[in-house]
Amino acid sequence: MKTKTSSILPVLFAIAAGALIPHSATIAASQKAAKPAAHQKATANKKAAAAANALPPLAAETALAANAPALPAKAWLLMDYDSGQVLASANADEALPPASLTKMMTSYIVEQALRSGKLKPTDLVSVSENAWCRGTSAESCMYLPLNSQATVIDILRGIIIQSGNDASKAIAEHMAGSEAGFAKLMNAQAQRLGMTHTNFVNPTGLPDPAHKSSARDLAILARAIIRDGSEYYPIYAEREFKYNGIKQGNRNALLYTDPSVDGLKTGHTAEAGYCLVTSSKRNDMRLITVILNTNSPQARADQSRTLLGWGFGSFEKAIPIQPGAVVSTVKVSFGKADTVAAGLGAPWLLTVPRGTQVQTTVEIKPGLEAPVTKGAVIGKVIATSNGKPVGEAPLVAQAEVERAGWLLRGWQHVMKLFGK
C-alpha cells in the first residue's frame, strides 16, 4: 500500500502543477497587459488635461501680409526690427503679467549703466538676505550665496541666462537701494521708450496685481536692447552659464534649434502662463516675436517658430532709393549757391510684403535759407504702396551752402520782389 501511495503522489503533484501553471501565466499576462493600458490611460489623461488648458487660437487683429497665423495665446506680436513696424499682432496692447520677461528691463538698465560708466563689469554686488534665494523650486535662481559678492558682469549673465531672481534683486539694491527704488528707474525707462501699457513693481516679474506689460511694449523693449546694447547683446544667445558650481541652461528652446535666433527671454508664472520674446536675423532682415500667456514651454517655442516662419516667408526688404542718389535739388535763398542737392543720410531699407511695388514722393521744407550745413535735414521722402504709406526717411543736404554777402543778398531780395 505504501508503494502505491508513493507512486501516486508524483502524479497528483503533476496534475496540481498543470492546473496552476496556466493560472499563473494568465495572471502574468494580465499584469503585462494592464501596464500598457495604464500607461496609455495616463498619457490620454495628460493629453486631455493639456487640451482642456489650451487657449483657443487668437487670430491676427492687424497683419500687413496675407495668411497671418492664429496662435493659442492671450497676446502675440511680430515686429520688424529695423523700422519698429508691427507686421502682425493680436491683443497687442492689453496689459498682462509679464513674468520674467520683466528681467529684460532689469538687464537693459544694467547694460546702459555699463555703457555710461556708472557701473563697471568688475564692480562687486552684495547679496542681502532679501535677494538671497533659499534654493526652492518655486523660483528661478542664480544661486548666489547669502552675504557673498558677485561681479556686475556675472550678475548680468545670471539675469539673462539663468533668469535669476536673486541676481535681479541684488543689482536692484546695488543701483537703487531697494527693489521699489529700482522699479522707479524701470518705469522711467519704459516711459522714455514709449512703453505706454507697462507698470513695473519689481525687477523680477514675481506676481503683483499692479505689475503689467503688453506685447507691443515688450517688443519695443527688445528692440531697444538690441539697438542700444550691442556690446552685451551676445549674452542673450548664450545657452548656459555656470556659477557657484551650478550649471544652468538657457530656457529659450529656439537657441538650440534655430541658428538664426539670438535672444531674448523666457518667462513663466501660474498667472502669466508661458511667455517668450525672441529675435531672429536671416540675411538682411531681423524680426522680433512676442508670445504672452500660452499653456506650455513647447507651445511658446512652437508659436514663435510659426510667427518667424510666416514673417520671413511673407516679407522682404525693399530699397526705395539707392544710397548716394540725389533725390531732389532744393532752392536756397540768400546763399552763395542757389541750390543744394538733397539725398538720404543713411541707407534706407523697408520691410514690405513680398512682391510689393514701392513708390516715393518728396516733401521739402519751404523757404530754405542759407546758411545750410552739410547733413542738415531739409525734407523727407515718403514711400507708399497702393496709395498707403509704408515708411519715410529724412532728406539731408549733400553739401554746405554759405550765406551770401550783403550785396548779393540785397540783389536776391530785389529779384524776389520781381518774382525771379
Q: Considering the candidates 103, 169, 212, 265, report the single residue annotated as catalytic.
A: 103
User: Comparing C-alpha atoms, which of 210, 212, 209, 216 is closest to residue 194?
Assistant: 216
Let me know: does 353 contact 314? Beta carbons within 8 Å: yes
Rounding to the nearest 10 degrees, give the CA dihedral for residues 77, 276, 53, 165.
Answer: -140
CB count in 10 Å sphere of residue 356:
16
User: Is 163 one of the catalytic residues?
Assistant: yes
Helices first, then strands: H and E counts in the chain: 9, 17
Nearest-angstrom CA–CA distance, 281 and 302: 18
Expressed in angstroms, the distance from the first to the final Cα of the chain is 149
In the chain, how long is the greatest CA-to-CA distance? 154
Helix segments in 326-405, DSSP class H: none
CB neighbours (10 Å) of residue 176? Answer: 17
The single-letter DSSP state of residue 325 is -
128 classed as catalytic: no
Q: Is 7 a catalytic residue?
A: no
Cβ-contact 93, 214 below 8 angstroms: yes
Name the active-site residue from 89, 107, 140, 163: 163
CA distances from 162 to 129, 172, 192, 294, 321 (A): 20, 17, 27, 21, 44
DSSP 114-164: HHHTSS-TT-EEE--TTT-----TTS----PPTT-EEEHHHHHHHHHTS--
Angle formed at CA 59 by CA 199 and CA 266, multiple of 5 degrees: 45
Find the catalytic residue in 89, 100, 107, 140.
100
Angle CA(261)–CA(220)–CA(309) in degrees, nearest 5? 35
Quote the cell numbers at residue 244.
557657484
List Cβ neighbours of 100 (8 Å cut-off, separation of 6 or more).
140, 163, 204, 205, 265, 266, 267, 268, 275
- Catalytic residue annotation: 100, 103, 163
